[in-house]
Amino acid sequence: MTAAFYRIDHETRYRYASRVSTSQHVAYLRPRALARQRVHRQEISVDPPPARWTRRTDYFGNAVDQFTLLQPHTELTVRAETLVEVIAAPPAEPGRSAPWEEARDALVYRQGVFAGEAAEYAFASPFVAVDPEMADFARPSFPPGRPLLAAAIELMHRIHTEFRYDPEATTITTPISRVLAERRGVCQDFAHVQIACLRALGLAARYVSGYLLTTPPPGQPRLQGADASHAWLAVHCPRSGWVELDPTNDLVPDRQHIALGWARDYGDVTPLRGVILGGARHTLSVGVSVVPLAGDAWDRPLAEPLAS
């Protein structure tokens, strides 16, 4: 299979209105190593330098960096630079997936029968409430006996068609019931809505955090920092395993999607979060670049800027 190669630069900068005396932070900025995704090199830098820094793997198998700043500061910059290779996913075969009821029934608890890892993703989570209105929205795509993947893809089409991408419409605290009612939001909202719909029907779905290669208009150059963190989801199909879906862009992810991590919802894999002492108000700026690379770019140091 043909592989795609990328350099990803992800910079997060906090500027505080007053001095922060100490802070602790957790970062999910290391892409997962997967059968179709290989991380060749990565560097994470923090300014000011942390007094303590540890790395671990969380419950869901994601790589986590945890660091503590003990020196006073009014600005924090965290930069992750990654060289990653992504191989095309096997083509989806929606009509050959199991009936959705079979997938639902396989997750039902039975004494002495292990439903597997997928069962953990069939329940409500802090950012994904499982309400009857979610099931009502999903049902037109899930008539009796329909193959699960065909139904889930149609639901993805409907979210993409009926919802409007609007960065001003929501914040991370906006409940998905409001997103469903107003049909507006951003990628994490659309992923949460589809996850909630699937879980409301008794199916397993997980949240995927990562990056997406964007394409500039014809004749325009790629702009550094023009990309962004992205979010999509994966639904569990008994005969196919986990199949990813991107309702924001109405497509099944392929080589242009790079997965950072997955879990129940956004709260489990927030790229960077923390607790600070001091600081008062702050401003946040995030810049992400996903740049396609030629093979010879692998020999360049990460600190050397790459042309788009």
DSSP letters, 261-294, are EEESSGGGS-SEEEEEEE--SEEEEEEEEEEE--
SS (H, E, C) 12-24: EEEEEEEEEEEEE
Task: Pick the more confident residue, 90 or 247.
Answer: 247
pLDDT band per the 50, 70, 90 thresholds, residue 112 = low
The partner residues of 277 in beta bridges, in order of sequence, read 22
How many CB atoms are closer than 10 A to CB 144?
7
pLDDT band per the 50, 70, 90 thresholds, residue 301 = very low
Domain ranges of the chain: 3-87+269-293, 94-268
Those residues with Cβ within 8 angstroms of residue 53's Cβ, 6 or more apart along the chain or in another chain:
46, 65, 66, 67, 68
pLDDT at 1 over 50: yes
Q: What is the pLDDT of residue 295?
A: 56
Q: What is the pLDDT of residue 302?
A: 47
| Span 94-268 CATH architecture | Roll (3.10)
Give mean pLDDT, residues 102-118: 76
Mean residue pLDDT across the chain = 90
pLDDT at 99 over 70: yes
Written as one letter, the residue type at 28 is Y
Q: What is the pLDDT of residue 11?
A: 96
Q: What is the pLDDT of residue 227?
A: 65
The tens digit of pLDDT for each residue in 178-219 reads 999 999 999 999 999 999 999 999 999 999 999 998 876 676
pLDDT band per the 50, 70, 90 thresholds, residue 15 = very high
- Percentage of the chain modeled with pLDDT above 70: 89
Min mean pLDDT across 8-12, 43-47, 281-285 is at: 281-285
Q: What is the pLDDT of residue 217?
A: 66
pLDDT at 297 over 60: no
Q: What is the pLDDT of residue 294?
A: 77
Q: What is the pLDDT of residue 215?
A: 75
The partner residues of 231 in beta bridges, in order of sequence, read 209
Give mean pLDDT, residues 139-150: 97
pTM: predicted TM-score of the whole model, two decimal places: 0.90
Give mean pLDDT, residues 142-155: 97
Min mean pLDDT across 24-33, 115-124, 136-145 is at: 115-124
Domain 3-87+269-293 listed as CATH 3.90.1150.10: no
DSSP string of 182-234? HTEE-HHHHHHHHHHHHHHTT--EEEEEEEE---PPTTPPPPTTBB-EEEEEE
